[in-house]
Structure 1
Amino acid sequence: MAGRRSDARQKMVSAARELFREQGYHATALSDVVQRSEAPRGSVYFHFPGGKAELAAEAAELHTREQVANIDRAAADARTPADLVRAYLDLARAALVASDYRQGCAVAPLVIESADLGEVSARSFTAIITALTGHFTTLGLDQANARTLADAVVAGAEGALITARALRSTSPFDAVQAVFAR
């Protein structure tokens, strides 16, 4: 029984992440999460007594872990900071195209739509920027330049996700790569 409970919990977190990426925080109802996850109706409040905000925090943490893992994978083959930038942006572009331009960042809607989740959002972006910074320093940049590049790449990737979705085109990713992956 415990395996089914934790399975339902994980399915709900994954479903919430997908829905936030597709339609935002406010447009996602808990009933949408239950339907997408195929979890038992009462399990939302059992697993997430803090409600939608608690579920959103867990979805943001899942998204962040995936982004850091993507950065680590991209860095494994990178020989230069530009290689890492290209690989990271390629992963974001590929995920967006695979979703038919429906899924952006799971954390961005929390920043825009919920002041109550500001700390969660800050932790998420800090973890992503820190991961990039660490790899950029390993690839030869000093700490200050590595942090500046990481900040810019994350800002560029987030902007590219939004504009690429609106335009249904990968050209925003091309533009960010042209600037940062020289």
Structure 2
Amino acid sequence: MGQKGAETRDRLLDATQELVETAGYFGTGLNQVIAVSGAPRGSLYFHFPGGKDQLIGESIRRAGRTIGDTLEEQAGTSPSPAEFVEGLLRHLGDRLAESGWRKGCPVATVALETAAVNDPLQEVCSEVYASWEAALRARLASRADADDLAVTVLALVEGALLLARAHRSRDPLERVGRQIRTLLD
């Protein structure tokens, strides 16, 4: 694929990610993706012959890698597991506040909307969550309960993001951060 094709594909994925994070799976239409991306309709079907589900699945994987990169950055700069998670919560809180409380987790909305009815998208959401859980587990590897703690921390972060978005406040993220510190120290 040439540079222009790659740029068009990236624009389609950027637009999809933006729309899915703010409106969810059912609130995101292909006409909206085309309008937001500025890409021709034919490009959408050329790059994503599987249609909406392929487009959304790839945008979720891409968003998942972005959060995964943040996990790696935090792991490299945080001396303790608690500081690692607190740094992640700060980053996600900044992202949420900067978006006007519209962008929480890039996976959660689609997971909630489609997990029971759309196996391919459920698998993508599961894959992304599993990668984040693995990153958390790696940072907690010195603990005998690293597997359980990784799931617990991920669930606390996800819940805090949901509450922060609903309340339009960082307070749930800060409270969860304090409890995670207690749990990990």
- Output the CA distance in 2 between the equivalents of 1:147 and 1:11: 37
Match of 1:120 among 111, 118, 124: 124
Q: TM-score, normalised by structure 2?
A: 0.91
Instruction: Say whether residues 1:133 and 2:144 are aligned partners.
Output: no
Structure 1 CA distance, aligned partners of 2:91 and 2:143? 22
Q: Match of 1:141, as an amino acid? A: R
Q: Tell me how far 1:58 sits from its aligned partner.
A: 0.4
Does structure 1 residue 58 correspond to structure 2 residue 58?
Answer: yes
**Match of residue 85 from structure 2:** 85
Matched, 1:67 2:67: yes
Which TM-score applies when normalising by structure 1? Answer: 0.93
- Determine the structure 2 residue equivalent to 1:41: 41
Question: How many residues matched?
Answer: 178
Partner of 1:26: 26
Aligned-pair distance for 1:24?
0.6
Partner residue in 2 for 1:170: 170
Q: Distance in 2 between matches of 1:131 and 1:73?
A: 11
Residue identity matched to 1:82? A
The corresponding residue for 1:100 is 100
Task: Give distance in 2, aligned partners of 1:124 and 1:59.
Answer: 11
Contact 1:74–1:88 (CA under 8 A) maintained in structure 2: yes
Q: What SS does the corresponding residue of 1:103 show, helix, strand or coil?
A: coil
CA apart distance, 1:41 = 2.2
Query: Following TM superposition, by how much is the alpha carbon of 1:70 offset from its aligned partner in structure 2, in angstroms?
Result: 0.3
The 4+ residue runs of structure 1 with deviation greater than 2 A are none
Question: What amino acid is the match of 1:120?
Answer: V
Mapped partners of 1:97, 1:12: distance in 2: 24
1:81 and 1:120 mapped to 2: Cα distance?
27
State the distance in 2 between where 1:98 and 1:163 align: 16
Cα pair 1:92 1:157 within 8 Å, conserved: no
The residue number in structure 1 matching 2:111 is 111
**What are the Cα deviations for residues 79-106 of structure 1, in whole angstroms up to 9, with x where unaligned?**
1111111111111111101111111222
1:160 aligns with 2:160: yes
8 Å CA contact 1:59, 1:106 repeated in 2: no
User: Aligned partners of 1:110 and 1:22: how far apart in 2?
Assistant: 11
Q: Which ranges of structure 1 fall in alignment gaps of 5 or more residues?
A: none
Name the SS for the 1:26 alignment partner.
coil
